[in-house]
Amino acid sequence: MIPALLALVISALFTGAALYILIAEQPARLLIPEPALLVQWRRAYHGGTAMQASLAVAGFLCGALAWWLTGRLGFFGGGLVLVANWPYTLVVIMPVNRRSRRSIRRPRGRRSAPWSSAGAVCMRAALGSGLWRR
């Protein structure tokens, strides 16, 4: 049952990272001046992207392996929920990030709204992946 335990731990890590970004990092980032905000965001973006992708793939693979070994569909469903975050990231979040990387100045209201809602969707997906495994 090690793959099932690993899948649960990975989905918990994914959830914890999404929760930290949504509750702590992004609100704090929005309080600093915009030039410094973009510098900080650009640095954090690359590491966050690599972490999100690797956790999603590892969680899916562990969930799929646990499903194959046990026959319990919940493991496969939880892995799918983690990987289902990718299309949303590519279609919704990536265009906002590309515009943000190109811009030097952006009004605060327009910048914070897409990131806040995008982070909330990632958080719901992460929580859903853990719930599927029960």
Q: What's the pLDDT tens digit per position in 12-28?
A: 999 998 899 889 988 88
Q: Are 67 and 59 in contact (CB under 8 A)?
A: no
Question: How distant, in Å, are the alpha carbons of 78, 79, 107 from that of 97?
Answer: 27, 26, 15
Residue-number span of the structural domain to which 65 is assigned: 2-132
Which long-range CB contacts under 8 A does 104-110 form with residues at least 24 apart?
Answer: 104/34, 104/35, 104/38, 105/34, 106/34, 108/30, 108/34
Of residues 10 and 134, more confidence is placed in: 10
**Tokens describing residue 14:** 């994914």
Q: Are 133 and 79 in contact (CB under 8 A)?
A: no
Answer whether residue 115 shows pLDDT above 80: no
pTM exceeding the 0.75 threshold for the entire prediction: no
State the number of CA atoms in the 13 A half-sphere of 14 facing the CB.
33
Mean pLDDT score, 85-111: 71
The whole-number pLDDT of residue 5 equals: 93
Answer whether residue 129 shows pLDDT above 80: no
- pLDDT single digits (tens) 46-65: 788 888 889 999 999 999 99
Count up the domains in the chain and report the number.
1
The whole-number pLDDT of residue 126 equals: 54
User: In the chain, pLDDT over 70 holds for what percent of residues?
Assistant: 75
Of residues 134 and 84, more confidence is placed in: 84
The whole-number pLDDT of residue 114 equals: 47
